[in-house]
Amino acid sequence: MIKVRAAQPKDAATIIKIYNQGIRARVATFQTQERTLADIQTWFENPKYPLLVAQLGDSVVGWIHASPYRPAASTWYAGIAEYSVYVASSAHGRGMGMALMLGFFKACQAVGIWKLVSRIFPENTASLALCAKTGFRQVGVYQRHAMQDGVWRDVVIVEKLLEPQPPTQTQSLP
């Protein structure tokens, strides 16, 4: 049974292991250097940007994280977040991505995020299928968005509008 929960600092090493699998596979990120624990420490510090993990039994097998969209213009884009989702290669095709997304939508709504965006390599058909199944729309394609390993890579731009939640006393409307 899949359990989705908020990530805890004790999950950091497993999150990095899964992230680095994705970096080595070259299908999910422009990153080419493997990440370290120090690279993600801040992910646990800001509750405005949810970080969830999927767990099978006692093992963390996937994660999803929101990050600021255009941090320099955070006032205007306070309710928009970019997201990344990674699943351990040993758990591909077992519903982890779907479970993470559904829990993530609720967590994002709870902190006032109304829109999620991402850029996905066209070859990453699993991520594109997950987005389609969970209500994302394809906005377009950035052609030759960046080079990776000496090759130009395109990315598909996706977005999902989340249902607005009533503001709390600590949350204001945009």
pTM: 0.89
Is-contact 162 136, C-beta < 8 A? no
Q: How far apart are CA 115 and CA 144, in angstroms?
A: 25
Q: Check residue 101 and give its pLDDT.
A: 97
**What's the rounded mean pLDDT across residues 135-149?**
94
Q: Check residue 29 and give its pLDDT.
A: 87
Element (H, E) at 4: strand 2-6
Does pLDDT of 62 surpass 60?
A: yes
Which residues does 103 contact at the CB level (< 8 Å), separation at least 6?
A: 4, 52, 64
Does pLDDT of 166 surpass 80?
A: no
Is-contact 55 61, C-beta < 8 A? yes
Is-contact 78 174, C-beta < 8 A? yes
Convert the pLDDT of each residue in 37-50 to its tens digit: 999 989 998 889 99
> DSSP secondary-structure letter at 71?
G
C-alpha angle with apex 22: 78 to 134, nearest 5 degrees?
Answer: 50
Give the sheet arrangement for strand 115-120, strand by strand. Answer: 2-6, 51-56, 59-68, 80-87, 115-120, 151-161, 137-148
C-alpha angle with apex 28: 23 to 32, nearest 5 degrees?
Answer: 30
Q: Check residue 117 and give its pLDDT.
A: 97
In the chain, the domains with their CATH numbers are 2-116 (3.40.630.30)
Q: Check residue 172 and give its pLDDT.
A: 46
pLDDT band at 173 (very low <50, low <70, confident <90, very high): very low
pLDDT cut 70: percent of the chain above it: 93
Residue with tokens 């680095």: 20
Is-contact 110 116, C-beta < 8 A? no
Q: How far apart are CA 22 and CA 16, in angstroms?
A: 10
Convert the pLDDT of each residue in 83-130 to its tens digit: 999 999 999 989 999 999 999 999 999 999 999 999 999 999 999 999
Q: Check residue 163 and give its pLDDT.
A: 84
